[in-house]
Structures are given as C-alpha cells and as structure tokens.
C-alpha cells in the first residue's frame, strides 16, 4: 500500500485514524505526539532523569529526551536503571540499557533492590506469601527511584509508559473502585514536597507503534518477559483492551480522553494526602510507616 501522505510504500496502517504511513511519515507521527506531550506536561529546568529499564518504551523516551535536551543548556539528562534482581530477565535488559547509554552518551546510574531494600526480587518471590511479586516490585521500584532521584537533585522522572499501559491502569483503577489511585496517576500536575513528579511523554502512543518505532530505529529489543508477570492482573486488562480495540479502533484513546475529562474533578475530590516522614526510613509517606517499609518488615519475618 502507498503512504496516505506521499508516494512511498507504507510500513503500517493506523487503524484508529485510517491512514497508511511510510517509514518517514510514521516516525514523524510518533515523534510529533511525543514532543507535543513533553511541551504539554512541561519540563522543569535542572536535571531530568529517564527511568530506563532497557525495554523499547523507556529507550524511546530516553532517545527523544536526549534529542530535545541537546538544544537546552539549562537542562541535563541522566538515565536511572533499577535492578530488581530478576535473573535471566533484568540482567539482560540492564546490558541493553548500558549499551544504549554508551551509544547515545547519556550519563547512566544503576541502583539495586538488594542495596536499598535488602532483597532481590528472586528472593522476595520465595518469601512473598499471598502477595503477588508485582506488588512488591512496583512499591519498591517507586521507592528506590524517588529516593535516588531526590538525592541526585532530579526535577522530574520520565517514564516510558505507552497508551496501552495507561489505558490498562485507568481501567484497572475503575474496576477496583480505586479512585484515590486514579486521582494520583502520573503525569503529576501538583508537586508534593519530597516526591519527584513523573512525566509520561509516550502516553498517546500505542504499544504497537512503540514496537515498530524501536524496530525502525534499530534499537535492541529484548523479546523475553519477566517470569513473574504471569501472576500480574494487568495481563487480564491487556487482553480485554486488545479485544475492544480490535472491535472498536480508538478505544484506548477514548479511555485516556475520558480520564482527562474527569481529572480535575478527581483532583478536587481527592486532594493530595498530607505527607509525613516515615517512622522507619524517613521517606515522605501518607501513612506513619510507608508502604515500602511495611512490605520490607513483612519480608524480614517471613521464613
């Protein structure tokens, strides 16, 4: 098929807008929306950190930020990788992240769960009780990332979440009736003392497009999946959304736009919780003991 914008051969068909796009027009289509999102969400001056897992999405976020910040002397880009300690998975993506940063001359810092939490995810998996690995992993990753970013005087953390990830999270929070969590979703518009705001420049880009973009750019893509993702509830929401998008192209965008339409009401109904220093670790928390310390204490007493 021919590109809807020029005479070149199309590399993809975008179902939700009915357009065929060649390589150049597809890449421009992706980059334009990422740049627009960055402008909309706002980049503070100072150090910006990309949370780089070595996966395709965070690599795209790092690549785009690096390109944009080349023209901004008052902003510096660093990449932070969290090593959760998942043998056969994270060690592979960390190697990709290292190579990526070398190639693109991005300052790279790696921090591990073992150093900050005391356990690797592989150790946690054996002690987890009836709590799924992803619950520990998500809480600890946010905790370590925020703590190290604050120490590095980072002004914003950039995450590689794509449209599919965000639509899944919105749906999940609705179905679980977790409106507080829905109100606290990134990108953050209110700066809370001690919490580094998060930006999501890929929020409008569907997963299929981030995969194609990474392939066309020649980024190394690791095909494997985390061994613990089988227990993640997110998989069910991925399947539901896939089915809906197949039948009704544009569903994921509609979910995101519906959320954006009620964001202000949610923020009014659930204003940010007053934070206090955690009694154990001193990190900002909405409860006397932060979630990370609560989970860590559970692990310490678990056989």
Question: Would you tell me which residues interact with ligand SF4 (CB under 6 A)?
Answer: 84, 121, 133-134, 137-138, 226, 228-229, 232
* Cα 297 to Cα 63: distance, rounded to the nearest angstrom: 38
Shortest spacing between CB 277 and Zn ion, in angstroms: 8
Contacts for 276 with CB less than 8 Å, ≥ 6 apart: 284, 285, 286, 288
For Zn ion, which residue of 60, 97, 203, 278 counts as binding (CB under 5 A)?
278
Residue 255 binding target from ligand SF4, Zn ion, none, CB below 5 to 8 Å by type: none
Angle at 198 (CA atoms; ends 197, 200), nearest 5 degrees: 150
Residue 228 binding target from Zn ion, ligand SF4, none, CB below 5 to 8 Å by type: ligand SF4
For Zn ion, which residue of 233, 266, 267, 281 counts as binding (CB under 5 A)?
281
For Zn ion, which residue of 5, 76, 92, 150 counts as binding (CB under 5 A)?
5
Shortest spacing between CB 54 and ligand SF4, in angstroms: 11
Shortest spacing between CB 242 and ligand SF4, in angstroms: 18
Residue 4 binding target from ligand SF4, Zn ion, none, CB below 5 to 8 Å by type: none
Q: What does 15-77 look like in DSSP terms, one character per residue?
A: TTTTEEE-HHHHHHHHHHHHHHHHHHH---SEEEEEE--SSHHHHHHHHHHHHHHTT-TTEEE
Torsion of CA 205, 210, 213, 217, to 10 degrees: 130
Nearer to ligand SF4, 41 or 210 (CB): 210
Q: Is 22 in the site for Zn ion (CB under 5 A)?
A: yes
Shortest spacing between CB 133 and ligand SF4, in angstroms: 4
CA distances from 288 to 181, 195, 277, 280, 300 (A): 19, 16, 7, 9, 19
Buried b or exposed e, range 229-252, using 16+ CB within 10 angstroms: eeebeeeebbeebeebbeeeeebb
Shortest spacing between CB 32 and Zn ion, in angstroms: 14
- Output helix, strand, coil percentages for the chain, rounded to the nearest 5: 50, 15, 35
Shortest spacing between CB 179 and ligand SF4, in angstroms: 23
Nearer to ligand SF4, 37 or 207 (CB): 207
Nearer to ligand SF4, 63 or 140 (CB): 140
Contact residues: Zn ion, CB under 5 A? 3, 5-6, 8, 22, 25, 278, 280-281, 290, 293
């Amino acid at each position: 098929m021919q590109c809807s914008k020029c005479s070149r051969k199309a590399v993809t068909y975008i179902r939700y807008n009915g357009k065929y796009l060649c390589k150049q027009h597809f890449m421009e289509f992706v980059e334009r929306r990422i740049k627009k999102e960055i402008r909309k969400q706002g980049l503070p001056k100072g150090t910006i950190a990309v949370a780089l897992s070595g996966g395709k999405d965070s690599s795209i976020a790092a690549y785009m930020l690096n390109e944009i910040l080349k023209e901004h002397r008052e902003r510096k880009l660093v990449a932070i990788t969290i090593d959760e300690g998942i043998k056969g998975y994270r060690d592979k993506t960390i190697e990709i992240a290292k190579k990526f940063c070398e190639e693109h001359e991005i300052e790279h810092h790696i921090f591990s769960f073992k150093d900050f939490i005391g356990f690797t995810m592989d150790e946690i998996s054996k002690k987890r009780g009836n709590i799924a690995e992803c619950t520990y992993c998500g809480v600890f990753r946010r905790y370590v990332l925020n703590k190290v970013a604050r120490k590095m005087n980072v002004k914003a953390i950039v995450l590689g979440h794509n449209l599919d990830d965000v639509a899944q999270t919105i749906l999940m929070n609705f179905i679980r009736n977790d409106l507080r969590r829905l109100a606290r979703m990134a990108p953050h518009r209110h700066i809370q003392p001690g919490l580094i705001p998060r930006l999501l420049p890929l929020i409008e880009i569907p997963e299929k497009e981030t995969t194609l973009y990474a392939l066309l750019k020649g980024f190394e893509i690791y095909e494997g999946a985390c061994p613990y993702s089988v227990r993640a509830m997110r998989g069910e929401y991925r399947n539901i959304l896939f089915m809906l998008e197949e039948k009704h192209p544009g569903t994921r965008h509609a979910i995101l736009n519906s959320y954006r339409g009620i964001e202000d009401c949610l923020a009014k109904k659930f204003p940010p919780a007053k934070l206090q220093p955690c009694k154990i670790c001193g990190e900002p928390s909405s409860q006397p003991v932060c979630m990370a310390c609560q989970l860590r204490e559970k692990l310490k007493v678990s056989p």
